[in-house]
Amino acid sequence: MSFVSVNKVADAEFPTRWGTFRILGFEGLTQPGDPGRKPVETAVALTMGDLRANPPLLRIHSQCLTGDVFHSLRCDCHDQLHLAMKMIAENGSGILIYEHQEGRGIGLMAKLRAYELQDQGFDTIEANERLGFRADHRGFDLPAEILKQLNVPAVRLITNNPEKIAALEHAGIRVTERVSAVIPEEPTFAKYIETKRDRMGHLVG
């Protein structure tokens, strides 16, 4: 287990365009000596409604400053984030965990350098590899610990990424259903989606 402890540090009302959530702040203290990990990792959970009746809808969203804030059309992140919030609000309950794993965990500056390489014709995986990274540096143990704190043993996961399902199951959270998170494609991110489908096994198209 990579976390010594995970603590809820805040719980407040959170009105949004799609409805009123609660916003919860979590701090996870990582195992000392865990290479490449910050001593404390944080994540935010937006929750709505009763989380215990059925396996709730869950979205784990990885930070994408360029998509989430600037609505970049290099990727589908912005629309996926808002689709998930809308789905949860329409369902009346669910959880969105927002993790600071910018650029699939390589960080913002490295992601921008990967953009430069993509502009030269490399796909997202090749660009990461040329910078000395793997295709994906994320782990999903913090969201799994947060779910345990929330007494949520099983979820209906909003994702196209089978790795997220495997990671949650491995961490002891049952995924009873996958809910698709496909966004209408823009020409500017067609190659991004194609690489996810053809090289990363994402369930799109």
Ligand X SMILES: Nc1nc2c(ncn2[C@@H]2O[C@H](COP(=O)(O)OP(=O)(O)OP(=O)(O)O)[C@@H](O)[C@H]2O)c(=O)[nH]1
Which positions lie near Zn ion, rule CB under 5 A? 64, 67, 75, 77
195 near ligand X, judged by CB under 6 A = no
22 is in an annotated binding site: no
Q: Which is nearer to Zn ion, 52 or 71 (CB)?
A: 71
Angstrom distance (rounded) from CA 21 to CA 92: 10
Reference 63, options 106, 122, 26; nearest CA is 106
202 is in an annotated binding site: no
Please identify which of the residues 68, 79, 138, 141 carries the catalytic annotation.
138
Angstrom distance (rounded) from CA 86 to CA 189: 22
DSSP 8-state symbol, 102: G
Query: From the CB of 129, what's the least distance to Zn ion, in Å?
Result: 19
95 near ligand X, judged by CB under 6 A = no
Catalytic residue flag (residue 136)? yes
Please identify which of the residues 68, 76, 136, 141 carries the catalytic annotation.
136
Site string for ligand X, 47-86 (x = CB under 6 A): ---------------xxx----------x-x--x------
Helix (H, G, I), strand (E, B) or coil at 157: strand
Positions 165 through 184 that interact with ligand X (CB under 6 A): 181
Angstrom distance (rounded) from CA 197 to CA 205: 8
Catalytic residue flag (residue 138)? yes
Positions 127 through 166 that interact with ligand X (CB under 6 A): 128, 159-161, 164
Question: Which residues make beta-bridge pairs with 157?
Answer: 58, 178
Of 30, 48, 142, 196, the one binding ligand X by CB under 6 A: 196
Query: From the CB of 76, what's the least distance to ligand X, in Å?
Result: 6
Angstrom distance (rounded) from CA 42 to CA 50: 24
Residue 47, binding choice from Zn ion, ligand X, none, Cβ under 5 to 8 Å by partner class: none
Angstrom distance (rounded) from CA 75 to CA 77: 6
Angstrom distance (rounded) from CA 123 to CA 131: 12
Residue 104, binding choice from Zn ion, ligand X, none, Cβ under 5 to 8 Å by partner class: ligand X
104 near ligand X, judged by CB under 6 A = yes
Angstrom distance (rounded) from CA 140 to CA 45: 14
104 is in an annotated binding site: yes
Helix (H, G, I), strand (E, B) or coil at 155: strand
Q: Which residues are catalytic?
A: 136, 138
